[in-house]
Amino acid sequence: MADRSIFLFLILVCFLFRNPCHSETDTLQQGQELKDWDELVSSNKVFNLKLFSFGAMVSPYLGIFYKNNNNITYHHPLIYRNKAVWVANRNNPIPDMYGKLIIDVHGKFSILSSGGTVLDLFSPNPLAACNTSAKLLDTGNLVLQELHPDGSVKRVLWQSFDHPTDTLLPGMKLGINLKTGHRWSLTSWEGEMLPVRGSFTLTVTEDLNGTAQMVILKGENIDTMSGPWANGELINPNKISYGSNFRVYYVSNKTEQYFTYLTKSYDSFPALRMSESGELEDTTLHTCLFSGFTRSPGAQTKLEMFKCRDDYTFYMGLDFHFPTKNYIFVDEYEYPESHNMTLYDCKIFCWNNCSCTAYSYATKNRTGCKTYGKMLYNPAEAYQDKEYYTFRDRVKKKKKNWFGLIIGAGLLALVLSCYFLYKKLHLKGKTKKIQKLLLHQLKRLYKNEETHRNINNDLHYFTFKSILFATNNFSRTNKLGEGGFGAVYKGKLVDGQEIAVKRLSQGSGQGITEFMNETKLIAKLQHVNLVRLLGCCIEKQEKILVYEYMPNNSLDYFLFDPRKKVLLGWKDRFAIIDGISQGLVYLHKFSRLRVIHRDLKASNILLDAYKNPKISDFGMAKLFGINEDEANTSRVVGTCGYMPPEYMIGGRVSTKTDVFSFGVLMLEIVSSKMNHGSYDVEHPLNLPGLAWELWNEGRGLEFMDPILNDSCSHTEVMTCIHVGLLCVQDHATDRPTMSEVISMLTNENLHLPEPKQPAFFIERHEAQTKRDDNLGNGSVNGQSFSVLVAR
């Protein structure tokens, strides 16, 4: 009890005398220091960087953590829950309590102690004064960057993503830089609380045919193989098992060959970790990425490892050694000097090894680490001048009532089995009755429209209970996104089919009209570039639509993200442009009803497993008869930046409304820029305006995203910019039809007309005149358009 009181008192003292100037920031400026009790926190509080230990008063390591991860990483109750995703000095622990991270005047990025430099993370060569800062990003990447005098980023000097430890975060690379020879790989920790490099390494190999795969090495020998990468996936004979929260990609070009993976969000704290036992773990699901692998002989699971310590006490803050003057210690093992192990590290490793009974310094100078397998009572031969450390016995815990747990689990299994059997036997009998109910509901909604007659043949009905089961009760972890209609969730049916479930929000500005649109179109539209609606649910005041699931999310997920857009090469982008245009031609010309989408944008273009585009979200669609060309509407709906002037201002809708949206979308695909805001400091210049100015000055290729330069056809790029400008012209009559667009994109010998000034374009002299007028009036109104129902 006294020991515990001392321990708590010391913690209180450290708390009271911690750095009083601590504040949350994501940047370490040149000349500043990050010490114990300080931390860097990324801007959206996803990650934090700090000095840490496993409960000791000294913090020997610098690491990056998920900021608010309460997932239990370890099985033992005394061990910290949140494990570092990156450790800067895993092989160079700080030897005292005066550790700090600092950027000096030359831009050297170092970890220091009272005795001097522990590790230089980055050292410029030659040394020269420069303006630098370190920033922790929301991706978990710690970036050292050189700044211009105005504070903007000049270049990245160093980043933690280039030096992974045992954890791969979304966006990190696993492979090789062919120009520099630098490899990105994961190496396990030596033990649960010992970050030093362990026995297992995850890396990438590529054979003579260029086929890549991931391999786990034990030492220099291959322990596990993922299987080759082919057709956009890893072909694994051991049944590779991916977590549902991420998707793996492989990139191979002239400069790099690497695997990476992306995720929708960081809410579930995604990470792939190379464990101490040689397993690649998906920490989100607490499962192994490779299933069916062969475990190394003698490997122990974490649970087995800690079971042997049930009768001992592990004091995390202080080292206790007990009288051992009458004992000798045998079966010793001395760790190599390269491990740089302190006595604290030695204690942790001994605790994690069930065959270890005691530990000590390796030398009389109190350095290094030795562990011992046996402790024998032998006063005659015992060493009197050396200190040995062991663990204190504690009172055994009462055994749990395993019998009661087994009975409870058995009853639960029986109840679940009965439920699923009942569901299977009665579902078929209920289907026809439910479909009749659905048809009645739709008849009431459509008020005697002829289209209701065909709905029963094409629409599948889902019970609300089946939707709840498929989406895990609309779990937050299953949520894919949210729009004007409501939230969209990923689900899995009983037969294993993956689905996307769109649930009408009770507070949505949209409702019955949009639901009618979607269900009506299922009986009319069938095209490879349209998302397939599988069915719906009308029950308990719920209105739910069920679609086929698109594993690659939406186009904006890749296009406007600096990390993800590299995964869309020019061939992918050109194929996406072609697919969207084919889908629109079908809607405008070849479907049973002429359909104007009215809300065509990057977030409504979904990508399947092969990145084929699918137009989605027909809630805003306008249905025309075969002989109808245009109409007026009092309800202007859509997204600013994609709507043409005749529709946005006058409410006039036609197929040219979608042509305008397609033109904006095509310019976004070429440039990886959103048509949002202004692209000029001194005058309002939207994305089509930027393309127009560069086109007129003969600098059209500068509009293209620079990452496409090595992989694209400049002729195709210029054609896409040309056609995009034709589609966004001010007057609808000047814009081509979608059939003409396809001809322009595919016929190299076709002479294209010169584009006119795009809609909403303000010339510089006009902008200056307006600015002068505004200054004279004393006010500036930055808003020029409004939308009745924005999305």
**Which is it for strands 392-393 and 460-461: parallel, antiparallel or unpaired?**
unpaired
pLDDT digits (tens, 9 = 90+) for 331-349: 888 877 656 677 777 877 7
- Binding site residues for ATP, as ranges? 502
pLDDT band at 717 (very low <50, low <70, confident <90, very high): very high
At residue 321's C-alpha, the angle toward residues 319 and 324, to 5°, is 165
Active site residue 599: yes
3-state secondary structure of 519: helix
How large is the average pLDDT for residues 203-226? 81
Max avg pLDDT among 322-326, 334-338, 557-561, 665-669? 665-669
Catalytic residue among 599, 617, 658, 705: 599
Q: What is residue 307's predicted lDDT score, i.e. its pLDDT?
A: 54
Dist CA 49 CA 310 (whole Å):
33
pLDDT digits (tens, 9 = 90+) for 531-542: 888 888 877 678
Contacts of 75 (CB under 8 A, 6+ apart): 302, 303, 306
Question: For domain 22-163, is the CATH number 1.10.760.10?
Answer: no
Residue that has been written with the tokens 């058995």 in this structure: 410
Q: Which of 164-168, 408-412, 500-504, 611-615 has the lowest mean pLDDT?
A: 408-412
Q: Which of 82-91, 120-129, 678-687, 764-773 has the lowest mean pLDDT?
A: 764-773
Dist CA 775 CA 781 (whole Å):
11
The pTM (predicted TM-score) of the whole model is 0.53
Q: What is residue 36's predicted lDDT score, i.e. its pLDDT?
A: 81
- Contact call for residues 51 and 99 (beta carbons, < 8 A): yes
CATH fold of 166-298 reads Agglutinin, subunit A (2.90.10)
Question: For domain 555-777, is the CATH number 1.10.510.10?
Answer: yes
In CATH, what number does 430-548 get?
3.30.200.20
**Mean pLDDT value across the chain:** 76
Dist CA 759 CA 726 (whole Å):
11
Q: Where are the domains of the chain?
A: 22-163, 166-298, 308-393, 430-548, 555-777
Closest CA to 260 of 345, 353, 347, 164: 164
Do the two domains 22-163 and 166-298 of this chain adopt the same fold?
yes
- Binding site residues, as ranges? 502
Dist CA 718 CA 342 (whole Å):
63
